[in-house]
Amino acid sequence: MRKYNIAVAGVTGAVGKVFLSILEERKFPVGNLLPLASHRSAGKKVLFSGQELEIKELNKNSFKNIDIALFSAGASISKEFAKYAVESGAVVIDNSSAFRMEKDVPLVVPEVNADKIFSHSGIIANPNCSTIIMVVALKPIYDISSIKRVIVSTYQAVSGAGAGGIAELEEQTRKIVCGKSGSVRYKTFPVQIAFNVIPHIDIFLDNGYTKEEMKMVHETQKIFNDYSMKISATAVRVPVFTSHSESLSIETNDKLSLEAVRDALHNADGIKLMDDFKNAVYPTTLNSSNKDDVYVGRLRDDISSDNGISMWVVGDQLRKGAALNAIQIAEILIGG
**Residue 99, C-beta contacts closer than 8 angstroms, at least 6 positions apart:** 78, 82, 105, 123, 125
Sheet bearing 147-156, strands edge to edge: 230-237, 147-156, 244-252, 308-315, 294-301, 271-273
Q: 129, 178, 218, 266: which is the annotated catalytic residue? A: 129
Q: How many CB atoms lie within 10 A of CB 33?
A: 23
Q: 120, 218, 244, 266: which is the annotated catalytic residue? A: 244
* Axis crossing angle, helix 324-335 with helix 14-25, rounded to the nearest 10: 40
Residue 50, classified by CB atoms within 10 Å of its CB into exposed (0-12), middle (13-18) or buried (19+), is exposed
Residue 123, classified by CB atoms within 10 Å of its CB into exposed (0-12), middle (13-18) or buried (19+), is buried
Query: What length does the chain have?
Result: 336
Of 332, 323, 325, give the one whose Cα is nearest residue 11.
323
244 is catalytic: yes
Q: Which residues are catalytic?
A: 129, 244
